[in-house]
Structure 1
Amino acid sequence: MDELTQNYLDYLIIEKGLSDNSLVSYSSDLAKFITFLEKNRIHDLNDVDTTVILAWLIDLAKKGLSAKSRARHIITIRGLYKFLIAEKKIIKSPVKDVDIPKIGLALPKIMSIQEVEDLLDAPDIRKPKGMRNSAMMEIMYGAGLRVSELISLRLQDINLDSNFVRVMGKGSKERIVPIGSKARTITLKWIKEGRPFQLKKISSAYLFVARAGKPMTRQSFWKIIKKYGLAANMSKNITPHTLRHSFATHLLEGGADLRSVQTMLGHSDISTTQIYTHISKDYLIKMHQKYHPRS
């Protein structure tokens, strides 16, 4: 169980871009849940059913946790099971039918356009790995990909003549997303110069390869982002998902319509995309206050 929960925490850091404080909360919630299971002689997450979950919530209440805290615990464990089902480690979720109170959705952290430019300019593209890392970040920001989608790209998924990338998203849903001229230029350079050098005559179907032609891992790409964030003197916590959030927000700030952003992000429900409109409204208020003569 410890290994599975650690895999989930790694996913939250890399894929979801959780802050240090949020990660501490999730880790604490998971530890309490595992401790409860072990005290009740449950050593396999597949053995947990709804009755166990309800008993766990009663135990939390007896310990004095507020309704809000208990709701957070449910969200943590629901996310754990959702992740493990997607990874085919668990068959079903015992938390699926457990109701939780509605809690306000936190706005994602984003970077300014200048911060993005500083980050994307950090790699040394004279070196093969610098070409690869630059191309990965350019495509992630240019197309708003999830990190799992980025590292899964195959050579056949990118069309540099038409400037688009074919992405296999959640639920095996395919989408076509445009990429910009800068992403195209560095990706072409990587394919022609850096990738053959990295592969050293090894065959690989993946666009972005690491050692022995294997695809980049989520953990490795997260470390790359951290490395270039430090090189660009970033004061905020930068994760791969920050680039995806920034992609969506910068499009909306530039005048893109919500439906188009929804399509490019691969959101099945537009309500998921609407979180970015809150950020854009803040931006519009700032612009109004700065430039309107009667503000």
Structure 2
Amino acid sequence: MREYIDQFLYVLRVERGASAHTQDAYRRDLHQLAEFAQRRGYTVVHALGEDGLLAFAHNLRQRGLAETTIERKLCAARALARFLQREGILPQQTIRSISSSRLPRQLPHALSPEEVRRLLAQPDVHTPLGVRDRAMLELAYAAGLRVSELVGLRLQDVDLGEGFVCVFGKRSKERWVPFGERAQQALQEYLQRVRPQLQRPHSEDYLFLSERGTPLSRTQFWLRLKRYAQQAGISRSISPHTLRHSFAVHLLQGGADLRAVQEMLGHASI
């Protein structure tokens, strides 16, 4: 990728007469993109495509750069992409993707992994409701669910054996989301030990039931989450969406592809 950057900088200097200051600014910004692409193993086409620039922008925000600085670096990347398209190195579709991409702004505040660990440890699993709450918290975090999706789950929506949950999100859009072993174990314990105790003759096939055997409401879950956060020593304001955003941020910090995370969230952006 650096050879293409050198060609672009040559054109800036010789054919366009760019000032030394302008050349240095482009050089710094594009070399930063090249270093990021090398760490991720991106080709030049991937690095300058929509997914590559989305990941680059997110990485810059994680490092605390201002939006104006990030936009300047993205403008440099677009200029390089246009140059490479004219040279026949990049396909035209790459340019269209960059022009139409909606780059996400700063992600809402997320819990740290340690805060999530403390939060998930709060329910008293020696009580039936504690077992249920642990399963809800584990699944909400492991699958990045909206609170409405969590409380609306039916028994048939969960595949414990394969570790997948079928979610119907906004506009009834269906998606299958994987969840890990901790959530599997918590759900299995809840389904085997606790849900039969909570079930009543009038109960429907909702996954999570209240003490009266009715579906747990969003407000009930939010109040319990707030209490567990206080017990975990988390002083900042927390909502069910906090777990969802924490799920996304922690996956991205672990190197997950931004587009894949967006698909798991069932949304165009995080």
**TM-score, scaled to structure 2:** 0.60
- For residue 108 of structure 1, what is the amino acid of its counterpart? P
CA distance in 2, matches of 1:108, 1:247: 12
Compute the displacement of 1:204 (Å).
2.3
Question: Contact conserved, 2:203 with 2:214, CA < 8 A, in 1?
Answer: no
2:106 is the counterpart of 1:138? no
Compute the displacement of 1:213 (Å).
2.2
Compute the displacement of 1:211 (Å).
3.7
For residues 183-212 of structure 1, give each alpha carbon's deviation from its aligned partner in whole angstroms, at most 9, with x where no partner exists.
000100000001111225554200001143
Unaligned stretches of 5+ residues in structure 2: 1-103
- For residue 223 of structure 1, what is the amino acid of its counterpart? L
- For residue 261 of structure 1, what is the amino acid of its counterpart? V
2:235 is the counterpart of 1:235? yes
CA distance in 2, matches of 1:152, 1:257: 28
Question: Contact conserved, 1:252 with 1:258, CA < 8 A, in 2?
Answer: yes
Give the aligned partner of residue 226 of structure 2: 226
Compute the displacement of 1:225 (Å).
0.6
Compute the displacement of 1:106 (Å).
5.7
Question: Contact conserved, 1:202 with 1:213, CA < 8 A, in 2?
Answer: yes
Q: For 2:212, what is the secondary structure of its paired residue?
A: helix
What does residue range 120-135 of structure 1 map to in structure 2 within 5 Å? Answer: 120-135=120-135
Question: Contact conserved, 2:143 with 2:264, CA < 8 A, in 1?
Answer: yes
Give the aligned partner of residue 250 of structure 1: 250
Larger radius of gyration: 2
Q: For 1:213, what is the secondary structure of its paired residue?
A: coil
CA distance in 1, matches of 2:211, 2:144: 26
- For residue 167 of structure 1, what is the amino acid of its counterpart? V
Aligned length: 167
When residues 138 and 232 of structure 1 are mapped into structure 2, their CA distance, relative to the original with a 3 A threshold, is same
- For residue 237 of structure 2, what is the amino acid of its counterpart? N
Give the aligned partner of residue 164 of structure 1: 164
Q: Out of 212-221 and 180-189, give the one that drifted further.
A: 212-221
For residues 116-157 of structure 1, give each alpha carbon's deviation from its aligned partner in whole angstroms, at most 9, with x where no partner exists.
000000001111100111101100000000000000000110
Identity over aligned pairs, percent: 50
2:181 is the counterpart of 1:181? yes
Give the aligned partner of residue 212 of structure 1: 212
CA distance in 2, matches of 1:219, 1:265: 21
Give the aligned partner of residue 51 of structure 2: none
Unaligned stretches of 5+ residues in structure 1: 1-103, 274-295
When residues 130 and 185 of structure 1 are mapped into structure 2, their CA distance, relative to the original with a 3 A threshold, is same
- For residue 258 of structure 2, what is the amino acid of its counterpart? L
Question: Contact conserved, 1:132 with 1:194, CA < 8 A, in 2?
Answer: yes
Question: Contact conserved, 1:202 with 1:212, CA < 8 A, in 2?
Answer: no
Give the aligned partner of residue 69 of structure 2: none
CA distance in 2, matches of 1:265, 1:138: 16
CA distance in 2, matches of 1:202, 1:192: 19
CA distance in 2, matches of 1:107, 1:145: 16
| Aligned-residue CA RMSD (Å) | 1.5
- For residue 185 of structure 1, what is the amino acid of its counterpart? Q
